[in-house]
């Protein structure tokens, strides 16, 4: 049972599954004299079943599991803290074309999301973002020479796919510009930042798809790496065959 002082920190408003990442709940281990309330930090994942909220996951550790219906990440994936922040890497390696994880998160439009920190927020449609999920997909970093791409499979589902064979120990990355439009950067100015990826073809700055060199844009289009809303924005069509 939750104690009477359970408090939820700034739940994200909107439709679908909602998440609250860290809240302090005064946990009541039992009833009766001498059993006081002990404050504990717990992590919860909530879903809103109108008109109330329901807890669908409660944990003493940061959330890393996915809600029902979301593809679990490849078991070889893990997080690593580096001088560049927390990154996602693979312990096992992967083959080209492998599906590594599913991106997900509460949906929001630009206006709603723009009031929040831009970290771990991803543009997934016209005037549409995923807010942070609290899971591994939040930690895929950008590279100008990425080893992964996003795959938009319809019904709003987005997956991370290996663009080439990936060796054990490699960090996973995709090019953020493949799913970011100029309109997105207007809403989230923090999405434009100096790039430190170290690739030979590093552009020096991460921006929108409109900022990509034309050859790079065509390269990504041929790989199927551009998000559908980016293709529409750029008035590009996918090649009929590879
Ligand atoms: Zn770069």
Confidence of residue 76 (pLDDT cuts 50, 70, 90): very high
Last residue of one domain, picked from the residues 63, 88, 104:
63
Residues with CB under 5 A from ligand 1 (ion): 144, 195, 197, 202
Q: Is residue 162 part of a domain?
A: yes
What pLDDT is recorded for position 164?
Answer: 97
pTM to 2 decimal places: 0.74
pLDDT at 66 over 90: no
Tens digit of each residue's pLDDT (9 = 90 or more) over 103-149: 988 788 898 877 777 778 899 999 999 888 878 898 899 999 999 99
Give the per-residue SS3 of the chain: CECCCCCCCCCCCCCCEEEEEEEEEEECCCCCCCCCCEEEEEEEEEEEECCEEEEEEEECCCCCCCCCCCCCCCCCEEEEEECCEEEEEECCCECCCCEEEEECCCEECHHHHCCCCCCCCEEEECCEEECCCCCHHHHCEECCCCCEEEEECCCCCEEEEECCCECCCCECEECHHHCCCHHHHHHCHHHCEECCCCCCCCCCEECCHHHCCHHHHHHHHHHCCCCHHHHHHHCCCCCCCC
Q: Which domain range does residue 41 map to?
A: 1-63
Last residue of one domain, picked from the residues 34, 63, 92:
63
Ligand 1 centroid – CA 69 distance (Å)? 34
Ligand 1 centroid – CA 175 distance (Å)? 9
Position with higher pLDDT, 36 vs 189: 189
Last residue of one domain, picked from the residues 12, 36, 63:
63
pLDDT at 14 over 80: no
What pLDDT is recorded for position 138?
Answer: 87
Q: Is residue 68 part of a domain?
A: no
* 81 and 128, same domain (yes or no): yes
pLDDT at 96 over 70: yes
Q: Total domain count for the chain?
A: 2
* 152 and 185, same domain (yes or no): yes
* 207 and 110, same domain (yes or no): yes
What pLDDT is recorded for position 235?
Answer: 84
Ligand 1 centroid – CA 130 distance (Å)? 23
């Amino acid at each position: 049972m939750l104690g009477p002082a359970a408090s939820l920190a700034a739940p994200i408003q909107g439709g679908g599954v909602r998440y609250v990442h860290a809240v302090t709940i005064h946990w009541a281990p039992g009833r009766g004299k001498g059993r006081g309330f002990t404050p504990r930090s717990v992590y919860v994942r909530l879903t809103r079943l109108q008109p109330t909220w329901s807890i669908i996951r409660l944990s003493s550790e940061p959330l890393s599991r996915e809600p029902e219906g979301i593809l679990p990440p490849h078991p070889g994936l893990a997080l690593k803290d580096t001088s560049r922040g927390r990154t996602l890497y693979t312990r096992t390696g992967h083959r080209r074309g492998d599906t590594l994880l599913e991106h997900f998160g509460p949906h929001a439009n630009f206006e709603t999301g723009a009031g929040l920190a831009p970290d771990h927020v991803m543009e997934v449609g016209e005037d549409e973002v995923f807010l942070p999920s609290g899971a591994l997909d939040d930690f895929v970093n950008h590279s100008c020479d990425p080893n992964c791409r996003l795959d938009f499979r319809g019904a709003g589902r987005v997956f991370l796919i290996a663009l080439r064979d990936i060796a054990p120990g490699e960090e996973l990355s995709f090019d953020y510009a493949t799913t970011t439009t100029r309109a997105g950067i207007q809403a989230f100015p923090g999405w434009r930042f100096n790039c430190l990826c170290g690739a030979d073809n590093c552009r020096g700055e991460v921006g929108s798809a409109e900022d990509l060199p034309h050859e790079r844009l065509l390269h990504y289009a041929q790989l199927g790496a551009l998000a559908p809303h980016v293709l529409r924005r750029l008035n590009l069509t996918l090649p009929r065959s590879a």
